[in-house]
């Protein structure tokens, strides 16, 4: 039987092959991984900035105490600056605490629930946290808008333009909102795909064993494997106890 297609016509395209689908899924997973790593680096940088701010505040308070004690001199406004540093530092640390699963959670019953129900509750917790972070961001933005409208100054001897600390506060809350939104979307996607284990592994509160393993990894990474020890901190030649 002769081919009925017109001369020069191309055959109809095949449906997407499993290989192409696999490549697309791999590309999407790689993109998600890059996004997660980028957000983790951003939140870590914000937390480091908060830590350095607290360190500088400690130095400033020490100088203030010594100056008052020995020279009867005061910088004036250290307590006000301390309030700004505390508020900004907390906002800058929210996101990193989330990526490290360091927020306080009541897990007396959670760890005893079936994995699928635990995954659902983890998703609900992330969605509620996301809503709360967006609410804080909205109110912080409204507060900053009023401050800019009225050119508000602090009613203190420093008369600090309030838009300065409020802008930094808003930046920290923005990072937190972005990280919580990404975490909620990722958890929802994992639940829809049936990736229950991955969802719980990324959202469950840290157990005592998890914290011990994390501390061990940080120690080994900072000190390196010492002679006679393996990379995981165990003495070479000695088996781990089960």
pTM listed for this prediction: 0.75
Taking the mean position of all CA atoms in its chain, how far away is CA 118?
21
Q: So what's the pLDDT on residue 240? A: 45
Q: So what's the pLDDT on residue 212? A: 81
Q: Dihedrals φ, ψ of 153, to 5°?
A: -120, 150
Please state which of the ranges 7-21, 138-152, 193-207, 225-239 shows the lowest mean pLDDT. 225-239
Give me the residue spans of the domains in the chain. 36-101+109-204
Give the pLDDT confidence of 27-47 residue by residue, as tens digits. 555 667 888 899 999 999 999
Q: So what's the pLDDT on residue 196? A: 95
Q: Is a pLDDT exceeding 80 seen at residue 167?
A: yes
Tokens of 120: 């659902």
Q: So what's the pLDDT on residue 242? A: 46
Tell me the average pLDDT across 8-35.
57
Give the pLDDT confidence of 97-116 residue by residue, as tens digits. 999 988 887 778 888 899 99
Q: So what's the pLDDT on residue 32? A: 75
- Torsional sign, CA 144, 146, 150, 154: negative
- For the chain, what is the mean pLDDT? 83
Q: Is a pLDDT exceeding 70 seen at residue 74?
A: yes
Q: Is a pLDDT exceeding 60 seen at residue 9?
A: no
Tell me the average pLDDT across 78-91.
94
189/191 Cα distance (integer angstroms): 5
24/22 Cα distance (integer angstroms): 5
Q: So what's the pLDDT on residue 80? A: 92
């Amino acid at each position: 039987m002769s081919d009925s297609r017109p001369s020069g016509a191309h055959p109809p395209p095949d449906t997407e092959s499993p290989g192409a689908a696999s490549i697309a899924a791999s590309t999407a997973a790689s993109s998600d991984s890059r996004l997660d790593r980028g957000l983790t680096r951003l939140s870590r940088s914000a937390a480091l900035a908060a830590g350095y701010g607290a360190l500088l505040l400690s130095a400033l308070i020490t100088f203030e105490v010594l100056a008052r004690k020995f020279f009867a001199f005061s910088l004036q406004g250290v307590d006000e600056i301390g309030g700004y540093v505390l508020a900004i530092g907390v906002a800058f640390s929210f996101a990193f605490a989330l990526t490290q699963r360091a927020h306080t959670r009541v897990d007396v019953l959670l760890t005893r629930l079936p994995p699928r129900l635990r995954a659902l509750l983890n998703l609900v917790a992330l969605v509620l946290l996301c809503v709360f972070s967006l609410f804080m961001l909205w109110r912080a933005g409204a507060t900053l808008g009023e401050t800019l409208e009225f050119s508000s100054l602090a009613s203190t001897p420093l008369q600090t333009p309030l838009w300065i600390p409020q802008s930094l506060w808003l930046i920290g809350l923005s990072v937190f909102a972005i990280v919580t939104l990404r975490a909620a979307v990722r958890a929802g996607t994992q639940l829809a795909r049936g990736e229950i284990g991955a969802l719980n592994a990324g959202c469950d509160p840290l157990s005592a064993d998890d914290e011990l393993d994390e501390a061990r990894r940080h120690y080994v990474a900072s000190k390196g494997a010492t002679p006679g020890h393996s990379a995981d901190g165990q003495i070479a030649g000695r088996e781990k106890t089960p």
